Amino acid sequence: NDFETILLDRHGRVGVITLNRPEALNALNSLLMTEVVAAVEGLDHDPGVGAIVITGSERAFAAGADIKEMQSKTFAEVYTDDLFTQWDRLSAARTPIVAAVAGYALGGGCELAMLCDFIIAADTAKFGQPEIKLGVIPGIGGSQRLTRAVGKAKAMDLCLTGRTMGAEEAERSGLVARVVPAADLLEVALEAATTIASMSLPIAMMAKEAVNRSFETTLAEGVKFERRVFHSTFATADQKEGMAAFVEKRAPKFVGG
């Protein structure tokens, strides 16, 4: 583990990234951003990894971008550095990523969770985009991804008042896939990731790519894209294996090809 602000573990075919700046409630400083991106890219390029979990601590997934680090930056600095653009590289990852969120997921923390493919939340999770209280607005996709996840009404409410919402409301609103007792969070997230990692990796990548396409295109184009990708699954050994296993009433053995 060559990282300072995260822990990187492997559980079988699942890579687990744990945000680890407890003194700052996992605030996302530039080193943490660089390390998370490097860790995700490393896991993404490893064919032995079929899914990734990103998690934080019991108290905080992440309490936002690091305010102390940002505080005195000038417009010219944040603009020329294109502050936070590195986070875009997470959306280029093709391996499925599960966010396991307990405690605070605020500002950049909520945005990091939304950069993952889906969120499993502990009943203690609190989501919000409180940037407005600091005199800024979301800068890692929050105004866009939150709106797509929960719709205009709640996105406006959260971004304009800066209030937080709990796990139940987040699940009801469509931000979160599942809510589980805090004590079970990591186990449930690992189980979901292990299930994903037991599938054919290229097929899981295709499923992720197809769902993501729905955010980028019209319904007709998205359905056509899906059908072409569906057709291409028939070029894989794993399609033959998956269907043969069903017919023969046995578990499939996917080879990732």
Binding site for ligand HXC (CB under 6 A): 24-25, 27, 63-68, 104, 106-108, 130-131, 134, 136, 138-140
Minimum CB distance to ligand HXC smaller for 44 or for 66 = 66
Catalytic residue among 108, 128, 139, 141: 108
Tell me, letter by letter, the H, E, C secondary structure of the chain: CCCCCEEEEEECCEEEEEECCHHHCCCECHHHHHHHHHHHHHHHCCCCCCEEEEECCCCEEECCECHHHHCCCCHHHHHHHCCCHHHHHHHCCCCCEEEEECCEEECHHHHHHHHCCEEEEECCCEEECHHHHHCCCCCCCHHHHHHHHHCHHHHHHHHHHCCEEEHHHHHHHCCCCEEECHHHHHHHHHHHHHHHHCCCHHHHHHHHHHHHHCCCCCHHHHHHHHHHHHHHHCCCHHHHHHHHHHHCCCCCCCCCC
Catalytic: 51?
no
Catalytic residue among 63, 111, 122, 193: 111
- Smallest distance from the beta carbon of 227 to ligand HXC, in angstroms? 38
- Smallest distance from the beta carbon of 72 to ligand HXC, in angstroms? 13
Minimum CB distance to ligand HXC smaller for 158 or for 199 = 158
Catalytic: 111?
yes
Catalytic residue among 131, 139, 142, 197: 131
Catalytic: 167?
no
Catalytic: 131?
yes
List active site positions: 65, 108, 111, 131
